[in-house]
């Protein structure tokens, strides 16, 4: 039966029905008023009339109906009744009462009679308003009871400021009872107050003794941003108490009908999000507006977000190039739905196929190129070194050469921190690609600004450890970490791609831009945090197992090579790395030899030349068992 009521409650009652109900309520209110007056002042026949159908009653009824239409009081959705609805009902009854009193005075002046005694008009106002509002409150409460379920979570509000109190009040009055507010958590050890809305205020110490199993904490988006920017440990302390943490969206994103529907679980990206990036929007617009922009790897996590970041600058056309059919299709579906105004082309192409790339450049004439296509899974590339060089080095070379030939204005290469003192073929192949990009910028006949951007791991990207950990947690564990001391730099996709656009705009050519990645994070700490965010206890509910370093993997990543130094730019999060690579005749010849070795699929020869070009490359292990493709 409850299920039937829930299904019925999903539909909204037509406004005409609400008007009929309101009319019936005021009709009953008038009957009650006339009955009360009749009992106090009986009519001549000394009989009490239980039902009155006099013209006076219908005149008052008509006045009330007129004000229903004037103030549109029946238009609101009853289940979401709030203060505004109460005020609207008060308006209709108040104006009805005032109008009736005025009519009474006019009639009395001319005929010496009244519709009803003045006191009766006042009584009617009280009865009508109370009944109309009571009806709405009853319906709202019934809806809450029907929609409520055992899944309702006990929730604490983080903070005791005015904003936090307003959030609590909104959730308490919400019709969709997903959360039951049971208290507030003070950000200070000693809260000044003891209660808000009769609900207790806890310090962290007090909460550790009173926390209920399965409870959660709700924090505003602004407060969460503030806590992460100041490196506060408060969120971690809450997670250690086995509390799930939810965040409320920013005020402009609140749902009109239910605040609860916008409350989402805090994820790892939220906790590692740093202060918002300030972009030089004017300069970015001047570079990308009305331009044809080619993005390689456009179906991947980085490439697709670069496309999203470009959209506000209104490029003339975006060329989405990728060799992966399905991700590119998903990206095109997204653009068709969310940005139908964008002019774009989707191109299936392999960056190692120079003839296909030649066709793309000739037919679409890109003015700006963002090169994000790459192989990036370290163990996979260790097993297939020639393919890593084919895509990461030769693919980059193809795009660089064509960009010079077709007079592309700006070429932005997306590199990686693994290119610094590489211990794996993936990092070494990206470092050699960096070198080739820099060598092209030294060509006196070159008119293209070649820019390299280098940053660490990106949260949520296809090559990130985060999706892998999520799958392991969802399957009940264990979560596998290669080494207890392994660390990595992390930033969000959004932040990384904004910085790529900014660096691409500020570069003059030949620079390697290094992004401020903050402090390196232990992967084991990351795993523990993800387990807690999922509502589990590390090494109790979900085990953490150390599996050993994988082929080519090193404990620590770096953003600058040993012989490199940096200089600041106008952007606090972007530095310029000065490379120590010598672009002499011998090294230029090595670059040519590397190209020939890769094209011939001569793995051993290519790796030998690679070591000469990138002397800091110290492979942990190399597998040359990959199948040679003719």
Residue 78 DSSP class: G
Tell me the H-state helices in 41-147: 55-71, 83-111, 118-147
Which position among 223, 397, 418, 573 bears the catalytic label? 418
Query: What is the phi/psi pair of residue 166, to 5°?
Result: -65, -40
3-state secondary structure of 483: coil
418 an active-site residue?
A: yes
Q: Find, among 463, 70, 456, 106, the residue nearest to 297 by Cα.
A: 463
Phi, psi of 157 (to 5 degrees): -100, 125
Structure-token pair, residue 493: 């996709």
Mention every residue, 6+ apart, whose C-beta is less than 8 A from residue 477: 541, 542, 543
Radius of gyration of the chain (CA): 35
Question: How would DSSP label each residue in 335-391?
Answer: HHHH-TT--EEEEE--TT-HHHHHHHHHHH--SEEEE------HHHHHH-HHHHIII
Q: What are phi and psi of 72, to 5 degrees?
A: 55, 40
Cα distances (angstroms) measured from residue 600 to each of 257, 284, 400, 628: 64, 41, 20, 9
Cis status of the peptide bond prior to 528, with omega within 30 of 0: no
Judge contact between 168 and 157, C-beta under 8 A.
Answer: yes
CA distances from 566 to 88, 508, 560, 575 (A): 65, 16, 8, 6
Rounded alpha-carbon distances, angstroms, from residue 69 to 12, 23, 480: 20, 11, 66
Q: Which residues are catalytic?
A: 418
């Amino acid at each position: 039966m409850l299920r039937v009521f829930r299904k019925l409650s999903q539909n909204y009652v037509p406004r005409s029905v609400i008007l009929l109900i309101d009319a019936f309520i005021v009709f009953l209110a008038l009957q009650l008023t006339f009955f009360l007056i009749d009992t106090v002042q009986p009519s001549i026949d000394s009989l009490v009339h239980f039902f009155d159908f006099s013209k006076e009653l219908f005149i008052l009824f008509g006045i009330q109906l007129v004000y229903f239409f004037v103030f549109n009081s029946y238009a609101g959705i009853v289940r979401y009744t709030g203060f505004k609805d109460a005020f609207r009902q008060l308006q209709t009854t108040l104006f009805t009462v005032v109008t009736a009193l005025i009519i009474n005075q006019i009639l009395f002046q001319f005929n010496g009679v009244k519709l009803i005694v003045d006191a009766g008009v006042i009584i009617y106002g009280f009865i009508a308003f109370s009944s109309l509002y009571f009806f709405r409150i009853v319906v709202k409460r019934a809806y809450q009871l029907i929609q409520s379920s055992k899944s309702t979570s006990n929730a604490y509000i983080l903070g005791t400021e005015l904003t936090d109190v307003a959030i609590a009040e909104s959730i308490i009055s919400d019709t969709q009872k997903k959360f039951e507010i049971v208290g507030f958590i003070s950000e200070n050890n000693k809260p000044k107050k003891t209660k808000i809305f009769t609900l207790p205020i806890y310090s962290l110490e007090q909460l550790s003794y009173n926390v209920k199993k399965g409870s959660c904490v709700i924090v505003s988006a602004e407060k969460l941003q503030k806590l992460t920017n100041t490196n506060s440990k408060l969120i971690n302390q809450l997670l250690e108490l086995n509390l799930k943490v939810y965040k409320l969206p920013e005020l402009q994103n609140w749902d009109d009908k239910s605040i609860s529907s916008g409350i989402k679980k805090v994820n790892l990206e939220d906790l590692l999000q740093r202060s918002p990036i300030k972009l030089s929007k004017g300069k970015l617009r001047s570079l990308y507006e009305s331009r044809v922009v080619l993005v390689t790897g456009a179906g991947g996590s980085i490439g697709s977000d670069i496309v999203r970041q470009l959209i506000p600058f209104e490029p003339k056309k975006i060329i989405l190039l990728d060799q992966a059919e399905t991700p590119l299709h998903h990206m095109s579906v997204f653009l068709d739905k969310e940005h139908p105004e964008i002019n774009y082309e989707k191109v299936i192409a392999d960056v190692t196929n120079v003839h296909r790339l030649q066709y793309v450049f000739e037919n679409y004439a890109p003015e700006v190129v963002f090169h994000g296509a790459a192989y990036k899974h370290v163990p996979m590339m260790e097993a297939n070194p020639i393919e890593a060089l084919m895509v990461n080095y030769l693919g980059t070379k193809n795009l660089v050469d064509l960009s010079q030939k077709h007079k592309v204005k700006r070429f932005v290469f997306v590199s990686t921190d693994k290119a610094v003192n590489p211990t794996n073929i993936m990092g070494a192949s990206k470092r050699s690609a960096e070198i080739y990009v820099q060598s092209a910028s030294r060509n006196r006949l070159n008119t293209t600004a070649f820019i390299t951007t280098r940053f660490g791991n990106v949260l949520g990207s296809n090559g990130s450890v985060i999706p892998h950990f999520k799958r392991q947690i969802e399957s009940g564990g264990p979560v596998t970490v290669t080494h207890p001391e392994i660390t990595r730099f992390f930033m969000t996709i959004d932040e990384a791609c904004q910085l790529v656009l900014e660096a691409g705009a500020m570069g003059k050519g030949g620079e390697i831009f290094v992004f401020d990645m903050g402090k390196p994070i232990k992967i084991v700490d990351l795993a523990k945090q993800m387990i807690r965010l999922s509502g589990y206890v590390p090494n109790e509910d979900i085990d953490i197992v150390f599996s050993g370093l994988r082929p080519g993997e090193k404990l620590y990543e770096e953003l600058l090579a040993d012989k490199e130094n940096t200089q600041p730019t106008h952007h606090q999060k972007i530095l310029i790395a000065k490379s120590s690579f010598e672009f002499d005749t011998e090294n230029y010849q090595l670059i040519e030899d590397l190209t020939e070795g890769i094209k011939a699929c001569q793995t051993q020869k290519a790796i030998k030349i690679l070591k000469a070009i990138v002397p800091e490359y110290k492979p942990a292990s190399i597998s040359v068992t990959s199948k040679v493709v003719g």
